[in-house]
Amino acid sequence: MTTASAHEFFQAAASVAGALIGLLFVAISVAPERILGPDAAEVHRVRASASLTAFSNALAVALFGLVPGYDVGYTAVVVAVLGLLFIAGALTRVFPAWRAERIQLTDITFLLALVVVFALQLRAGLGLDAHPNDGGDLQTICVLVIVCCFIGIARAWELVGGPQINLRHQLYDRLKSSRGPRDPGGFNEP
């Protein structure tokens, strides 16, 4: 299996990543003060940067995967290292806000997901560089391109203030509402 065998995938992935980057810029331009303004929360800046990093990662790998005869392993390595450097920088930016309890740890757990993605991409890229016909490493890189798109979408959703859908909270709320309100006498009406 060679990079050429994934040509259609890279073509579609480049189109998707490019469109998502465009939509991210539109979303940011609608409310720039919330994300880029002087009073913007640091977590919003990091979410915007994380979205752009995830989408750019997917776009770079996909575009270089379209270059005839080019082994995408090297690109995967470079953008994975750049992604890891981004995460290091993002953590240094949000750490003071986390220590001051202005943001919660759950607000930045997406950075851990990106660490995993970039570490796996680095490993697969190095493997593909060493063995250019390794279908497993190429397939891993392709899957990680998809994962980067999903991570970017999730961060962009948070960025624009979309409602969070948390299964644990949904189940708790459902259970709580099914019990109904309790009256002081301990009896519930049907």
Task: Report the pLDDT value the prediction gives residue 1, as an integer from 0 to 100.
Answer: 58
Separation of CA 35 from chain center: 17
Proportion of the chain in helix, strand, coil states, percent, rounded to 5? 75, 0, 25
- C-alpha 131/C-alpha 161 separation (Å) is 44
CB 88 within 8 A of CB 53: no
The ranges assigned to domains in the chain are 3-179
Higher pLDDT: 188 or 73? It is 73
Angle among Cα 20, 115, 139 to the nearest 5 degrees reads 65
pLDDT at position 77 over 60? yes
CB atoms within 10 A of CB 4: 12
pLDDT confidence of 82, banded at 50, 70, 90?
A: very high
- Cβ(134)–Cβ(72) under 8 Å? no
pTM for the full model?
0.77
187 pLDDT higher than 60: no
Distance CA 188, CA 190 (A): 6
Residue 163 scores a pLDDT above 80: no
Q: How many CB atoms lie within 10 A of CB 157?
A: 16
Return d(Cα 100, Cα 115) in angstroms, integer. Answer: 24
Least confident of 24-33, 50-59, 121-130, 177-186: 177-186
pLDDT in tens, 94-147: 777 777 777 776 667 778 889 999 999 999 999 998 988 778 999 999 999 999
- Of the candidates 119, 125, 114, 123, which has an alpha carbon nearest to the alpha carbon of residue 52? 114
pLDDT of 164: 67
Instruction: Decide: 17 and 58 in contact? Cβ < 8 Å.
Output: yes
> Which segments within the chain are labelled E, that is strand?
none
